Amino acid sequence: MPDTELDGKVALVSGCSSLIGAAIAEQLAGAGASVVMGDIAEDAGREVADRIGASAKFVKVDITSDTDIDAMIDTAVSEFGGVDLVVSAAAIFDDAVMHTSRDQWHRSFDVNVVGAAMLIEKAAPFMDRRGGGAIVVVASVSGKQSQPGRLVYPVTKAALLGLTRNSAQLLADRSIRVNAVSPGWTWSHNLEKRYGSREYTDEFAAEFQALGRLVDPTEVADAVVFLCSDRASFITGADLAVDGGYSAMGPEALGQAALKFPVKKLPD
């Protein structure tokens, strides 16, 4: 994408300290946008903003705080003149499956779903002043498929897909497009803690992602930048899978079961 594709646009990005959020912020800036980045992890967020340079500003944001969301938007207006683009990428993975407490459920929905909803709701009037814009919600393949050993996180991601569809309808007459991207298993801080090396985790992902590896955060960012650009001017309410074929396959995956249980030839 040309480095002037988003020239003059101002973007809000929540969850910018994650590898996906950081890649999104960097690529939006690389396409010409000014970026206001929000995250509760201050040191990591500032490091990303410093890496980008003058076109990025970091604001410490707890996405469950309306005051913090307002401060993020106010920074976009005061520093760069308004809001054109919004990317909601903040998420937590507090999932104890069938032992999840009520407080954990509430916290997960507050961060993963309500935080996204409030960011959209609060940013939309400022986007009106600029004649519209684009919103991208970072969802997940887990919002469309059940997964072993997970419950809370997939339910919140399914809710984000509903938020995307309904927001797209509500904001269409205001020239604000709303879309989602659903990454497959993507290299992240969380996976690094769980599995160690990228190479080992690629081997794991190759079991169920047809292209044989993890998604790279930059590949998710490519999809986000596209949906923010005029190249996607007639796309709204859509969910763009960036999953290496994960969602195209059924329970037989890449044929592992067939290899373990080969066809037995019966006597004629």
**Catalytic positions, please?**
153
Residue 42 structure tokens? 């201050």
Residue 156 structure tokens? 């919140």
Q: Report helix, strand or coil for 128.
A: helix
Element (H, E) at 57: strand 56-60
Residue 98 to residue 219: CA distance in whole angstroms: 33
Q: Name the strands in the sheet holding 10-14, side by side, starting at the edge strand that comes first in the sequence.
A: 56-60, 34-39, 10-14, 85-88, 133-138, 176-183, 239-242
